[in-house]
Structure 1
Amino acid sequence: MDNSITVAQALRHARHDFLNELQLIQMKLDLGRGQDVKSIIRSRAEAAVQLNRLTALKMPATENWLLTAEWRFPEFRFHLECLAEAGMATKDAAFADWLEQFFTSLKKQADPASDTSCRTTLKEHQSAFEIGLELDGNLPDALELPEVPGLLIKKDIAADNTKIIVSAKMEG
């Protein structure tokens, strides 16, 4: 990844996001919307569980990419779901490289005014490790998919939804 983020930058972004969340909670409390506050807290707790699962995969390059994606690619709203119980350390750099190439390319092609969300799901499926991307929003018709040795790419395009699965066969 040539567009990495420093620890100081990551902490600055994290503090900013945390302050925004606190301000949102305070606003909801001031308006007497306790249920909304409980919903925010549940959402943050679930996000923490997903991040712990991601860390347990022992794929540091992919983890770093996913943890900093929303700061490095603010044009996209990322949501992470980690269903995998085992990672694939031998393909860690390849997955991170593919994600970097794909979103760098997509950023150049995408309409900056469009609201694009990306649900990212990591799982093991039929002796393969896969990262699934479900992109909602106005995406370019000729979506470029990078080729990275050792990874298989599958794409399914619908009217306003694009699904991409990046996978590699697990050893053993």
Structure 2
Amino acid sequence: MSSLPFRDLALDAHGRLVLTDLHGATHEGVTPVRAHPISAPDEGVSLVGVHGHELAWVERLSALPDSPRRVLEAELAAREFHPTLKRLISVNTFATPSTWRVETDRGEVDFVLKSEEDIRRLDEGRLLITSTHGVQLQVPDRWALDKQSKRLLERFL
């Protein structure tokens, strides 16, 4: 059994993350930050205090006991907004900039793709598409998309 990098982690009455470190000191307003949010979301989470200093380092999120792991996962989910692209509905032009209409896990949305470089290829068919507003849409497996979505997407890859 590995030891925890802190004594306790919980939310206070105001919904702020509170960490009790290994020395028993309490730190309110802690912010979790993933070291590798896209390539290795389970590995390396820094717990940062209000003054920007790291208070604790979590090697592997999945190795934590249920209670602190659930608290951290909920905090990270609230901070990270990466909708998943489920279907590419239409593209107004195959030149960039172009307006895309897509279906995500959070509903339909239109966004502008500034250039082909805003489609980042990750490992194993995963993509990260960044809109002109900085919203990053994830494509977990481009090969699993429907035929029309793959056809439209291939024009930009």
TM-score by shorter chain over 0.5: no
Larger Rg: 2
Shorter-chain TM-score: which interval?
under 0.3
**Relative contact order: is structure 1 or structure 2 higher (C-alpha 8 Å, sep ≥ 6)?**
1
